[in-house]
A and B are shown apart, each in its own frame.
Chain A
């Protein structure tokens, strides 16, 4: 049973990432991994850095993965992936293994990508290995108990950037990882969100099919760390996209393309007010965030219009 009519479109029934994992109730990251695994298919090797998805999917002696899977440290997911890719290439060249076009996919959280694993990632992108790097961004170190990372947005309260009388919460802006990946001049960079599941699967499939390095940044809501009800995980993802906080776009060989044609952005307040981690924000701070979001979004629109690609209607 390769394909069957499934949901609103035709989506494969293949499930390389199986149920029974120990993710929290309502985890959008587990959903993102499941959808990405469907798009990657069976002919792949997964390199998984330490993080939520490694911990919940492989408590010894169980595993949720039906495909080969390696656990790496926080910092070297990209380095191990490039080693696996180079090793496979070399063995195929020497005839020690048949040519099967095996894809190598590295998975890491936002801490493993934008803080600890950035150096290894930059090296792997620069060397041009044929692999896909997927960053599962839940905007803090959720696995160890909600510590801030450089991907945590401005104003968010975490255990290491707590909000209080004298403190605003996180005082730095979110690191723009996709822009860093684009700066390496790689063939494919995209941002995705599990709330837009078909878009996510399309982008991961495209990244896997691209020769050379590809980077996909996936924002996934975390009800535990974002302090929101579990059923809001998908809704919050939609709002993140519609408010312009996390715009969906792809960059093919330097050409920007926005995937959703948002004629008018929703106010950022709608997105912030759904989450407990932003509960302490005052109107002034929300206004400040709104200005920054609009500015960043306009920058992106300008880049996209320069590339001449038109966004498809929403």
Chain B
């Protein structure tokens, strides 16, 4: 079930992401974790409020906001 008030969700481009975890540090809701087994950044959509801060601060521009279906 989507979080109330959210329209867009962040999607990580695995090709561009260098796993620096700047997004995790600056996420007010701590919705971003690094899955060490897969070596991928994962976004916990139970907690994400779609605020865009991770997009604004990704040094590699690897996160994009997409309309949540």
Contacts and interface: CB of A to CB of B under 8 A. Distances in A.
Given A8-B20, A25-B5, A231 B26 contact: no
A30 interface: yes
Nearest to A27: B28
Contact of A15 (B26, B30, B55): B30
A11 B25 contact: yes
A7 B52 contact: no
Given A7-B20, A7-B24, A234-B57, A25 B51 contact: yes
A6 B55 contact: no
Contact of B51 (A11, A26, A235): A26
B6 A25 contact: yes
B30 A23 contact: no
Contacts of B56: 231-232, 234-235
Contacts of B5: 25
Contact of B29 (A6, A8, A21, A231): A21
Interface string B37-52: 0000000101101111
A20 interface: yes
Contacts, number: 67
Interface residues of A, number: 27
Which interface class (under 10, 10 to 19, 20 to 34, 35 or more) fits B?
A: 20 to 34
A70 to B, nearest CB: 23
B21 interface: yes
A197 interface: yes
B4 to A, nearest CB: 10
Contacts of B24: 6-7
Contacts of B44: 19
30 contacts: A6-B21, A6-B24, A7-B22, A18-B30, A19-B29, A19-B47, A20-B29, A20-B47, A21-B29, A25-B5, A25-B6, A25-B49, A25-B50, A26-B52, A26-B53, A27-B28, A28-B28, A31-B28, A31-B53, A197-B25, A229-B52, A230-B50, A231-B51, A231-B52, A231-B53, A231-B56, A233-B51, A233-B53, A234-B56, A235-B56
Contacts of A230: 50-53
Contacts of B57: 234
Nearest to B32: A19
Interface centre among B22, B46, B52 (most CB of A within 10 A): B52
A34 interface: yes
A25 B44 CA distance: 15
Interface string A221-243: 00100000111111100000000
A23 B27 CA distance: 12
Contacts of B50: 25, 230
B31 interface: yes
A230 B7 CA distance: 13
Nearest to A15: B30
Given A25-B49, A230-B52, A234-B53, A34 B28 contact: yes
B20 A31 contact: no
Interface string A17-48: 01111011111101100100000000000000
